[in-house]
């Protein structure tokens, strides 16, 4: 199936199984939207094309694009506000950047205080032009975070109808479980790719699978390094993926996404592109599976040695 025919694909929905939150099996990551240099109408068309593919979840953070991406998305959504009912909006907070958009910030730092979480949510709602977020994540673990304060703040936001579900990003298994004991979390969004397999072996994925929580995956293509990294590991992994892609007669990127999707923790990968053809290749990964030997061929290349 060619990625040049995106509308022939459909991405099945995935249930995170803890609290009823439904996210599309592939999530459209918006963090680079500012770099795509799209007009509001072009941004709207990209959103519409994602929805046509079944990609109904859109990932944001307050800091993306120097605090500008959410407003760009909101500007496009305002052109067709009825689309809001067909999508899930995800955002993150907890990082304060030194930036012209935030002149009061004198040092880059984390802030998971109740006041900062609440202020970030209010700003995200204004920027996105919506009355609620479907999912809010704490962006990074904060050495000063108080699990009880975060849980109480999340609960108040839910009661106010401003955020429906909660999660974290880049948390260790222990950090996730500490907060999850206080309020049910829907996901932990972590970095994972054939060039970064740590969550598979540091108990992150095992812990989430045990709880029935699906991780979200950022940088599944290693930030593009799978296509360009020319060190020994990059060449080895790329050759293995190319071999499997040829056997399956599937696009290179589709094989990477399929490799990730095959994990029993049911990961939900994010794209990071404004090209609908590339998003379609990610969706195409939901249509096929690797054999066990093909899957381990890529893992062996990723680790640089046999499993035993």
Is residue 18 a contact partner of residue 186, using CB atoms and an 8 Å limit?
yes
What is residue 19's predicted lDDT score, i.e. its pLDDT?
A: 72
User: CA–CA separation, 275 vs 270, rounded Å?
Assistant: 13
What is residue 2's predicted lDDT score, i.e. its pLDDT?
A: 37
Give the strand pairing for 13-15 and 57-59.
Answer: unpaired
The model's pLDDT over 54-101, given as tens digits with 9 standing for 90+, comes to 999 999 999 999 999 999 999 999 999 999 999 999 999 999 999 988
48 is a domain residue: yes
Check which CATH number belongs to the domain holding 267 and give it: 3.20.20.100
What is residue 308's predicted lDDT score, i.e. its pLDDT?
A: 83
What is residue 255's predicted lDDT score, i.e. its pLDDT?
A: 98
What is residue 229's predicted lDDT score, i.e. its pLDDT?
A: 84
User: CA–CA separation, 285 vs 275, rounded Å?
Assistant: 16
141 is a domain residue: yes
User: CA–CA separation, 23 vs 124, rounded Å?
Assistant: 19
Range of the domain at 190: 6-303
244 is a domain residue: yes
100 is a domain residue: yes
Which residues of the chain have a pLDDT value below 70?
A: 1-10, 12-18
What is residue 230's predicted lDDT score, i.e. its pLDDT?
A: 86
Is residue 226 a contact partner of residue 192, using CB atoms and an 8 Å limit?
no
157 is a domain residue: yes
Question: Taking the CA of residue 26 as centre, how many other CA atoms within 13 Å lie in the half-sphere pointing to its CB?
Answer: 31
289 is a domain residue: yes
Domain count, the chain: 1
DSSP state of 253: H
Bridge partners, 28 (sequence order): 58, 271
26 is a domain residue: yes
What is residue 8's predicted lDDT score, i.e. its pLDDT?
A: 59
Catalytic residues: 64
Residue 38 Cα distances to 56, 81, 130, 198, 221, angstroms: 20, 19, 21, 35, 23
User: CA–CA separation, 231 vs 253, rounded Å?
Assistant: 19
1 is a domain residue: no
What is residue 18's predicted lDDT score, i.e. its pLDDT?
A: 56
Choose among 202, 220, 201, 228: nearest CA to 267: 220
What is residue 3's predicted lDDT score, i.e. its pLDDT?
A: 39
């Amino acid at each position: 199936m060619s990625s040049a025919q995106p509308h022939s694909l459909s991405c099945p929905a995935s249930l995170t199984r803890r609290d009823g939150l439904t996210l599309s099996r592939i999530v459209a990551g918006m963090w680079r939207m500012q770099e795509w240099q799209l007009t509001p109408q072009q941004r709207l068309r990209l959103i519409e094309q994602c929805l046509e593919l079944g990609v109904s979840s859109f990932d944001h953070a307050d800091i993306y694009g120097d605090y500008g991406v959410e407003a760009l998305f909101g500007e496009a959504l305002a052109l067709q506000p009825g689309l809001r009912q067909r999508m899930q909006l995800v955002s993150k907070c907890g990082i304060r950047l030194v930036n012209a958009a935030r002149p009061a910030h004198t040092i880059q730092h984390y802030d998971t205080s109740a006041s900062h979480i609440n202020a970030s949510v209010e700003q995200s709602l204004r920027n996105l032009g919506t009355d609620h977020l479907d999912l809010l994540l704490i962006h990074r673990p904060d050495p000063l975070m108080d699990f009880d304060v975060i849980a109480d703040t999340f609960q108040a936001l839910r009661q106010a109808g401003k955020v429906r579900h909660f999660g974290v990003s880049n948390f260790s298994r222990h950090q996730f479980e500490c907060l999850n004991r206080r309020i049910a979390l829907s996901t932990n969004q972590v970095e994972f790719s054939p060039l970064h397999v740590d969550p598979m072996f540091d108990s992150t994925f095992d812990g989430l699978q045990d709880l029935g929580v699906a991780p979200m995956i950022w940088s599944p293509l290693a930030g593009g390094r799978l296509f360009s990294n020319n060190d020994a590991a990059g060449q080895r992994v790329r050759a293995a993926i190319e071999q499997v892609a040829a056997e399956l007669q599937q696009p290179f990127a589709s094989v990477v996404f399929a490799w990730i999707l095959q994990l029993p923790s049911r990961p939900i990968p994010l794209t990071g592109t404004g090209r609908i053809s590339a998003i379609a290749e990610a969706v195409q990964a939901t249509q096929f599976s690797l054999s066990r030997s093909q899957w381990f061929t890529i893992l062996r290349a990723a680790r640089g040695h046999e499993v035993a």
